Structure 1
Amino acid sequence: MTKTLNTSGVGEAINRVEGHLKVTGKAKYASEFPVENKVYGQGINSTIAKGEIISIDTSEAEKLEGVLKVITYRNAEKLKTFEGERPQIATDSIAPVLQSNKVHYYGEYIGLVVAETFEQAQYAASLVKFEYKEDAAAVINFEKSKSKAYTPDNGSNYSRGNMDKGLSEADMVVEQTYNTPIEHHHPMELHATIASWDNGKVLAYASQQIVEDAIIAISGTFQIPKKDVRVVSAFVGGGFGSKLNLDRHVILAVMASKMVGRPVQVTVTRTQMFTNTNMRQQNEQKMRVGAKNDGTLTALSHETLSHTSTTQEYQEPCGMVSKMLYNVPNNEVTYKLIPMNIQTPFAMRAPGEATGSFALESAMDEMAWKLKMDPLEFRIKNDTQIDLHENRPFSSRLLVECLRIGADKFGWKDRKSEPRSNKKGNWLIGYGVSAASRNSPYQKSNARVILNLEEDEVHATVQMDGTDIGTGSYTIVAQTAAEYLKIPVEQVTVELGDSDFPVTPGSGGSWGAASYCNGARAACENAIKTLKNNRNIEEDEEVALVELLKKNQLTKFEAEGMAEPSAEFEKYSIFSFGANFSEVWVDKDTGIYRIKRMVNVASAGKILNPKTAYGQIIGGLTMGAGMVIAEQTHVEPNFGNFITRSFADYHVPVNLDMANTEVIFLPEEDKIANKMGIKGIGELGITSVAASITNAIFNATGKRMRSLPITPEKLIEAKVEEGVVI
């Protein structure tokens, strides 16, 4: 039986409006557009971490049937290159490639073969021979390179109060170091593009999260006007941050198209997804926390040591949460980076929060244990309604409510505070909790609505260049238009991901839902207001859209709208908040553990669609569990290549790894955040999940696990903490 949708789709747990396109194969992803006369490009990767190319032999490849071009630095188009040493990477950064014989990391693109078929291009690529002058001074070992670390000149170091004073006032101090490894995004859809260069005009079907920034990057790299570039990203099969910026396969495809005079498709292989599409960097985080015996925090310091590439700078903001989550007067956050001959890292889901919250919420749990306080009550005691980092009130903050309600649903009262005291056969059972927060940005967003009167029905089409990366953007925009136009959702069509449409900030940073939907709202409101004004109808008079068009003697009408943060928005800190609870069972002899239950409570503004929002939280919880269970990328210490290079050795959670999960959304409409009261949710779901699991492992075993991921071997080898009764 098909569910009848109400006129106002907002708040309804409806199925995805684009779902039928996906299950029938009609949703076109970047590599699926039918482009005539298309040929294929295959990137060639370096096999050294640092050095120079001293000779290239392309003769064998060029003799093969179907090969059209072998492109290397010797014949590549001249592109704009970086200015200065290690400029900061951004979502709209240029992406020069094949501009010199220098090699900066293992796997760097050093060539591209263009051929009639994908198979011809792949085989020909394997025949191109390179000789190198290898530089033995390549920096590829994190532990051995710490002396090379520098402090980034980006103003991110922060302090308030006096740490020494705060620590001296403390009755108890926790000082520990927490480690998270390199991780890779690995969306299901490989990075891909079909690009054409036609008389100086570029058309790229590309898997990108931010269409406008992709245009800026292409035009900037080739030094051509923005108006001559069009990017289409109608459907994106996952991104998690890896498709925020424009990677070099897109530039290679555009360059190749210009050189061969035909559209060129370049698809990044799964192995190349490790070396050529960014990653989450390794982080070593030193925490110092001071507190009074009654649980009052006096000091909190968060020092992060990470790495960046030798060509661009990226720093994951691990200390972001430590600056604002708790009421602590003395606070310090610092960063150092090691330039390494590894690819440039970049944003991965909840950059900073996912990794930084592991360190912070683990340290908070350690402090609660030392103070013999309930870790839930310890967090609640140090709650604050003021963002001390920004010295501004939160627009809304229901963290305590998240913790209290979650504790009730989870059965926290049954937790045994003494580690190793809850047993069932060979299993040690533990409960863990963590608090979560995620900044909820809201950015200027434009939209167009086209109204068509068909007999006695109005059908609306909403257009914007925003993207759907699997999060449900099509659906929530359709629901928004239905709400403000007062027509059924079935009569709304949404068109996304084309730079010919009005500009939005794209998908990323948890700003998509608030930005897109408010942009769509503004367009719909403008349409109704204009139609009423044309006929001198009072703004508050209720008139059906059908009648409005008829009164204006129109069968088609277009309007655009723009939404952006208000002056009041700038006076507050806008965040989503949450709480995670985990129950973990650990086999005391083998170290094998199972995540049995998880409860997640989210305070994330107005929930536009509980079904798609639930999917976002489940995805975040799964990635958070993956941080603990298995996810890590190993760098080969002698050559600088990644040992993990496929899903056979880079492990992610599967269904049997995951727990019985309950997700709770607290009712909240934060009208300071934006007119619709929407906040971000996509990244809140991963924040501090890892800590809730490791805190549960401590409660089960008495062992503190401070380096992710946690394997059974690590658990067996770990020592029980001092003070734990065995």
Structure 2
Amino acid sequence: MKTLKASGVGKAIDRVEGHLKVTGMAKYASEFPIENKVYAQAINSTIAKGEITSIDTSEAEKLKGVLKVITYKNAEKLKTFDKERPAIATDTIAPVLQDNKIHYYGEYVGLVVAETFEIAQHAARLVKYTYKKFSDPAIRFDELKSKAYKPNDKSDYSRGDVDKGLAEADISIDSVYTTPIEHHHPMELHAIIASWENGKVTAYASQQMVEDATIAISDTFQIPQENVRVIASYVGGGFGSKLNVERHAILGVMASKMIGSPVQITVTRNQMFTNTGLRQFNEQRMKIGAKNDGTLTALAHETISHTSTNMEFQEQCGMVTKMLYKVPNNKVTHRLIPMNLQTPFAMRAPGEATGSFALESVIDEMAWKLKMDPIEFRIKNDTQTDLSKDQPFSSRLLVECLRIGAEKFGWENRKQEPRTNTNGNWLIGYGVSAASRNSPYQKTHSKVILDAENGKVQATIQMDATDIGTGSYTIIAQTASEYLGIPVENINVELGDSDFPVTPGSGGSWGAASYCNGARAACEIAVSELKKKQNIAEEEEVSIAELLKKNNLTNYEAKGMAEPSEEFKKHSVFSFGANFSEVWVDKDTGMWKIKRMVNVGSAGRILNPKTAYGQIIGGLTMGAGMAIAEQTRVEPNFGNFITRSFADYHVPVNLDLANIDVIFLPEEDKIANKMGIKGIGELGITSVAGSIANAIFNATGKRMRDLPITPEKLIDAPLEEGVTA
């Protein structure tokens, strides 16, 4: 990749920490060489609902090398919830082993601590539990809809009158779309090395949000937050599963306190299914109305999902439906069913990824009914105002994304009538979808340390931000390079330590904008203070080396803080994009493959095209996975997951993917923030599944409303009304 920019920001440079990773020098949570470390293995329940009636730990305790078996009978007393089913957040407490109740299959019921990892695993299998099993676990979604409830006042939204708008429509559609339970499965397993010493906790933990992790640990153990230090120097992926502190981390801290040694827990891949969150199953009813000329008159999005019986999480599937199109009558509702499954939590683009599948599919359905080109239908209903907030967008280049993408993709070759573009036994289809993702920007603190020697300046940037594989180290270094005017190789970035200045952590597509503006602020303050000491005008260009020399300094530190402006608060700030897919479907077997994908995005200033490209490729892959195979199945009698390893939970591999083109439109949204940066990490997955499903319809004439789209579903699906066989 090439760029015309000469500064640090904008160059497609390699990751600054890349050599550490390929040489094994980058330390992940379970890799720190802590002295006197012992190992722990958590034990999972084997029922979905009930009570523990007895525990036999004798055989495990006799095993040489076993140090402790912890159950609810001898566990440390922790802070517990003061109400039924509290809402989960990134800093929520995580009590564990506090009573004998079982809420879902796989819930932690014990912990074995031993001298080695192997002994801990062996001993965990020797602990015997007897349960009183309750006969009515809530594990069948369809049978529980009558128990769905409205979580809170923000669950619903409306403007205008949807029923009136549907009545005024020339054409209306009422369709139901479903998306399955999915699991995050980052490459790095969840892990912690916890040390409790003299009432203070040090935790090397795989966490996306360091500050919130310190809050959750301190609140759970009821100790001062300043007595908790969390270190997450490198995080091997998260996708939302590492936003909050899960129970294994609390178990590690508890065990360390009880035995007086550092304790390491690494969650197994099987436990990644049962104990580290999931994306909910969502049933989404879409109602849409339009005039014959393509003008939308009404749009409703009603979602029913599930949460656990002891905690609450709601995926906002209707978020995009509220703001993406110009429609006067709009209604969005969310309902939850308490079930004996683990608590769901945010997974990459929570709400947008799943909700956009339903929205962009029903938009395609309406375009077909109207006999309009799907791109022209979307453009006709474009808006520069976020009607859900009654605020202008800070910038919105959705039409440009659709137009440029159509040209790059060769949309003019698409045939409007399904089943008419063929190659031998293959039916060929083209699909499109619009994409949008909120671009948050949050208060971020940063420190810069300048060191000068022989006229050369080295700078260190410190903040508790995390790099979850997205390139945070690199783009922060590039930012410091630009604002200090020194080469990137002279920048050292230190992240992931709660002793460093506070940031919002990684999640929600706010990282790049927040971190880089925080680093910018620290660098600008350092330069400004050094100039002020010598009465140098702010606008005068003086190198940082010369400034230090003029001040007779070889070392200087400055702190900075960046936060949203008042102008930001008056606008709706989003990234936008368009996805194009070409699929080939075997008309006899239902087997299908993606041949090409084109993604066009307007996501503000692209700090590093190389890392940004990687983010989009990752998002497209996850979006394709939603359509191809990803799903977690629940055993309907016992509530355990049938899919519980990579042998049966299928994710896309190279052969599943297509030739991919990624295009970034030039955009610097200075309302979004001073550097013009917007979020990109979740834009890449949003509506990808919709573009694929729409391409399959164009190929086959069959509308696929239930993900994933398997060959047997395609074979069994009927042709849509009006499609010629």
Contact conserved, 1:5 with 1:489, CA < 8 A, in 2? no
Secondary structure in structure 1 of the residue aligned to 2:125: helix
Unaligned runs of 5+ in 2: none
Secondary structure in structure 1 of the residue aligned to 2:118: helix
1:458 aligns with 2:460: no
- Matches of residues 197-596 of structure 1 in structure 2 within 5 Å? 197-596=196-595
Aligned to 2:636: 637
Aligned to 1:616: 615
RMSD: 1.1
1:556-604 CA distance string (max 9 Å, x none): 0000000000011000000000000000000001100010000000000
Question: 1:336, 1:606 → 2: CA distance?
Answer: 37
Contact conserved, 2:599 with 2:661, CA < 8 A, in 1? yes
Secondary structure in structure 1 of the residue aligned to 2:508: coil
Give the residue type in structure 1 aligned to 2:212.
D
1:43/1:330 Cα in 2 relative to 1: closer, same or farther (>3 Å)? Answer: same
The alpha-carbon deviation at position 457 of structure 1 amounts to 0.6
Contact conserved, 2:629 with 2:708, CA < 8 A, in 1? yes
Contact conserved, 1:6 with 1:488, CA < 8 A, in 2? no
- Matches of residues 23-102 of structure 1 in structure 2 within 5 Å? 23-102=22-101
Question: 1:330, 1:5 → 2: CA distance?
Answer: 46
Unaligned runs of 5+ in 1: none
Aligned to 2:120: 121
% identical equivalent positions:
78
Question: 2:624, 2:378 → 1: CA distance?
Answer: 22
The alpha-carbon deviation at position 85 of structure 1 amounts to 1.2
1:507/1:155 Cα in 2 relative to 1: closer, same or farther (>3 Å)? Answer: same
1:441-487 CA distance string (max 9 Å, x none): 00000000000002111000000000000000000000000000000
Question: 1:333, 1:52 → 2: CA distance?
Answer: 39
1:231-282 CA distance string (max 9 Å, x none): 0000000000000010000000000000000000000000000000000000
The alpha-carbon deviation at position 648 of structure 1 amounts to 0.3
1:485/1:295 Cα in 2 relative to 1: closer, same or farther (>3 Å)? Answer: same
Question: 1:151, 1:475 → 2: CA distance?
Answer: 43
1:27-69 CA distance string (max 9 Å, x none): 0000000100000010000000000000000000000001000
Contact conserved, 2:2 with 2:11, CA < 8 A, in 1? no
Give the residue type in structure 2 aligned to 1:405.
I
Secondary structure in structure 2 of the residue aligned to 1:517: helix
Give the residue type in structure 2 aligned to 1:50.
K
Secondary structure in structure 1 of the residue aligned to 2:104: coil
Contact conserved, 1:7 with 1:488, CA < 8 A, in 2? no
Question: 2:240, 2:154 → 1: CA distance?
Answer: 23
Secondary structure in structure 1 of the residue aligned to 2:640: coil
TM-score by length of 2: 0.99
Question: 1:594, 1:373 → 2: CA distance?
Answer: 26
Secondary structure in structure 1 of the residue aligned to 2:466: coil
The alpha-carbon deviation at position 146 of structure 1 amounts to 1.2
1:687-711 CA distance string (max 9 Å, x none): 0000000000000000000000011
TM-score by length of 1: 0.99
The alpha-carbon deviation at position 673 of structure 1 amounts to 0.2
Q: Which moved more, 1:155-164 or 1:277-286?
A: 155-164
Secondary structure in structure 2 of the residue aligned to 1:320: coil
Aligned length: 725
Question: 2:716, 2:340 → 1: CA distance?
Answer: 32
Give the residue type in structure 1 aligned to 2:46.
T
Aligned to 1:693: 692
The alpha-carbon deviation at position 111 of structure 1 amounts to 0.2
Contact conserved, 1:604 with 1:679, CA < 8 A, in 2? yes
The alpha-carbon deviation at position 4 of structure 1 amounts to 13
Secondary structure in structure 2 of the residue aligned to 1:301: strand
Secondary structure in structure 2 of the residue aligned to 1:413: helix
1:402-437 CA distance string (max 9 Å, x none): 000000000001100000000000000000000000
Q: Which moved more, 1:143-152 or 1:118-127?
A: 143-152
Q: Which moved more, 1:137-146 or 1:501-510?
A: 137-146
Give the residue type in structure 2 aligned to 1:388.
L
Secondary structure in structure 2 of the residue aligned to 1:451: strand
Secondary structure in structure 1 of the residue aligned to 2:155: coil
- Matches of residues 666-681 of structure 1 in structure 2 within 5 Å? 666-681=665-680
Contact conserved, 1:7 with 1:483, CA < 8 A, in 2? no
1:12/1:3 Cα in 2 relative to 1: closer, same or farther (>3 Å)? Answer: closer
Question: 2:84, 2:403 → 1: CA distance?
Answer: 49
Contact conserved, 1:283 with 1:304, CA < 8 A, in 2? yes
Contact conserved, 2:3 with 2:12, CA < 8 A, in 1? no
Secondary structure in structure 2 of the residue aligned to 1:339: strand
The alpha-carbon deviation at position 172 of structure 1 amounts to 0.3
The alpha-carbon deviation at position 145 of structure 1 amounts to 1.3
Give the residue type in structure 1 aligned to 2:493.
V
1:199/1:154 Cα in 2 relative to 1: closer, same or farther (>3 Å)? Answer: farther
Question: 2:427, 2:661 → 1: CA distance?
Answer: 22
1:55-90 CA distance string (max 9 Å, x none): 000000000001000000000000000111111000
Secondary structure in structure 2 of the residue aligned to 1:568: helix
Question: 2:386, 2:542 → 1: CA distance?
Answer: 44
Question: 1:156, 1:431 → 2: CA distance?
Answer: 35
